[in-house]
Amino acid sequence: MTRIAVTGGSGKLGRAVVAHLLEHGYEVVNLDRAPAPTSPFASASQPSLQTDAGARPEALFVRVDLSDYGQVVQALTAVDDRYDGIDGLVHLAAIPAPGLTTNAATFANNVPSSYNVFAAAQAAGIDNVVWASSETVLGLPFGSNPPPSFPVDEEYPVRPSTTYSLGKAVEEEMARHFTRWNPDLKLIGLRFSNVMEVADYAAFPAFEADPANRAWNAWGYIDARDGAQAVRLALESTLTGFEAFIIAAADTVMSTPSAELAEKYFPKVPFRRPVEGTETLLGIDKARRMLWFAPTHSWRDHVPQD
Ligand SMILES: NC(=O)c1ccc[n+]([C@@H]2O[C@H](COP(=O)([O-])OP(=O)(O)OC[C@H]3O[C@@H](n4cnc5c(N)ncnc54)[C@H](O)[C@@H]3O)[C@@H](O)[C@H]2O)c1
C-alpha cells in the first residue's frame, strides 16, 4: 500500500483529503500540530492503526511542528513502531488566510514550514509532493486589482497583495528552484479557491443580494471534497517539475450568470473565451487538461433552488 503523509490533515481541507485518500486505498499519516477534533487521536491514548478487523481504516496521527526542521525530517523518514518510509507528500499545513494573526507571524509560520517540508522531502527521498498554494497569488482582491482576462488562468506572473499571499508566492518560487535542482522531483502547487464544506452552503443564497461582496475572488469557491480529488489526481500524475493549477468549483457562488457579473463589476476585463451560465470565472481548464480534474460538487446540490 502507498503511504502518503498529509501535513495539516486535521484542518478543513486536510480532513477531506485524508478521508478521500483513505477511500482510495492509500495509507495516510496526518502530520499536524493538533489532531482533528473528531479523530480518535484527539483522546489521550492513541489506538493503533486499523485495530478492528473490517473497521474503516483511520489515518495515523503524528504530532509535528513543521517549523522545526528536525521534526519534519523524522516525520518524513520513520516514527518508531508506527511507520518506516513515506511514498508521497501532501503539504497543506499553514495559517490559511490573511489577517488571522499578525503578518510576520503568518509569514514566520508558513514559509519556513514549507521550506522545511520541501527540503526534508528531498532528504527523505520523496519526489512526489503536492502542496496548497492559493488563489490569492492571482492578485486578490480583484476589486482593486482586476485580472488580465476571464476565465482567470495561470499564465500571468503572481501578484500577491497580502503577506499571506506573499508567502504562497515565495513557496511557488522555492518550488521552481527545488525542481530545477532535482529533475526527478514533482512539486505541484494547487491554487485553491475559497474552501467550503457542506455546512457552509446555507450562507450562499444570501450572496445574491450583494454580488460586490464576493467580487474579491470573482465569485469562486471549491468544495473540500473536490479539493481532495485534485490533490489525489496531482499525486497520481506523472508530471515532473513545478506546475501550478487553479482549483475551483465548476460554478460560481452566484445565480446571476457569470458573464453578466463580469460585465457589471469588471467591465474592462476581456474574455479569452465565452463562459456558459454560472460557469466559474477562475479557469480550471489547465487542471482539467493536465490532471483530469473534474469537480462534481456544487453548493446548488445542497441548498433549495427557486
Ligand atoms: N481555506 C481556504 O479557503 C483556502 C484557500 C486557498 C488555500 N488554502 C490553503 O489550504 C491549506 C489548508 O487550509 P485549511 O483551510 O484546511 O486550513 P486549516 O486552518 O483548517 O488547517 C490547517 C492545519 O495546519 C496545521 N498547522 C498550521 N501550522 C502548522 C505547523 N507549523 N506545524 C504543524 N501543523 C500546522 C493546523 O494545526 C491546522 O490543522 C493551507 O495551506 C491554506 O493556506 C486554504
pLDDT, mean of residues 290-299: 98
Strand partners, 27: 3
The pLDDT > 70 percentage for the chain reads 94
pTM of the predicted structure, to 2 decimals: 0.96
Cell digits for 303? 441548498
- Predicted local distance difference test score (pLDDT) of residue 301: 97
Best probe residue, ligand 1, of 134, 165, 197, 223 (max atoms within 8 Å of C-beta):
134
Which helix (H) or strand (E) segment holds residue 132: the answer is strand 128-132
The pLDDT, as a whole number, for residue 50 is: 45
What separation in Å is there between the alpha carbon of 54 and the centre of ligand 1? 31
Q: What is the mean pLDDT of the chain?
A: 94
> For position 40, what pLDDT does the model report?
62
At residue 240, does pLDDT exceed 90?
yes
Helices (H) and strands (E) in the chain, counts: 7, 11
The whole-number pLDDT of residue 56 equals: 66
Q: 66 near 72, Cβ under 8 Å?
A: yes
Q: Which residues contact 44 (CB under 8 A, 6 or more apart)?
A: none
Residue whose CA lies nearest to ligand 1 atom number 13: 96
Average pLDDT over residues 248-276: 98
Q: Whose CA is nearest to atom 23 of ligand 1?
A: 8
Amino acid identity at 227: G
Res 38: pLDDT: 73
Q: Give the model's pLDDT for residue 13.
A: 98
pLDDT at site 150: 98
Fold of 3-301: Rossmann fold (3.40.50)
pLDDT tens-digit map of 124-180: 999 999 999 999 999 999 999 999 999 999 999 999 999 999 999 999 999 999 999
pLDDT one-digit tens code per residue, 37-85? 876 666 555 544 444 455 667 999 999 999 999 999 999 999 999 999 9
